[in-house]
Structure 1
Amino acid sequence: MNETAALRGFGAIAHADRLRIVRMLVVAGADGMSAGAIAAALDGAQPSRVSFHLKELEQAGLTLARREGKSIIYSADFPALSDLVAFLMHDCCHGHCIYCDKAIKLFAQCTGRPTGPDELP
């Protein structure tokens, strides 16, 4: 990830509602949430306001949208979020921190789907 993409991503989550949306979508995993469920979780926010925030997150590459019937389902783009974390932590301890390196590697493998204990690397 380059600095321009990182700035776009961090800029998108630098708003309270958008940060809350991303955190909700991370919890929801790959199944995601409908725009209506997101609005309800944001204390009944106006659909137009939620749509605006979802568009900003999607344009920053942090969320994905898919159609299921009449609904649009939004989910976190886990590789993009992993790239943001890696961008911050990449040079931790002059690039020699085995703990950060392990965390970055593990987070990069996240798909938003649960894994069983025997599926851990």
Structure 2
Amino acid sequence: MNVIINPGSGPVAEATEAHAATNITVFGDDLRRAGLDVLACNRMPDDDYGDGRYAFELEMADGGSIEIQMPGLPVERVRFMGEDGQNILDFPRLYIDGSSYVWEFALSVCEPDNEDDDS
């Protein structure tokens, strides 16, 4: 019997920093569309996990910040939104302040009332 716990949380093969930079821009845009005021996105290379994820800090208008470890694959291979044809098992997880989520759920975790959510 195989048990899968947090699929997509392992190393990301063939990742690049360039893809991660594109992805964090799209993620920030998704947050803005959801009504969050993202002021800036800063690259933090010293905080990279070293497994194909690249560290960024989003500065928020409320004075807070969010650390995101972004997978460095093309956005269509990272941006799981539960759309037809997407299989959650095929997508790597982002790490938000140390906890892993697929893209769709990572967006909701970044909302101010969910910042301390451990789910």
| TM > 0.5 fold call | no
TM norm structure 1: 0.29
Q: Which has the higher strand share?
A: 2
Q: Which has the higher helix share?
A: 1
TM norm structure 2: 0.29
Structure with higher RCO (Cα < 8 A, 6+ apart): 1
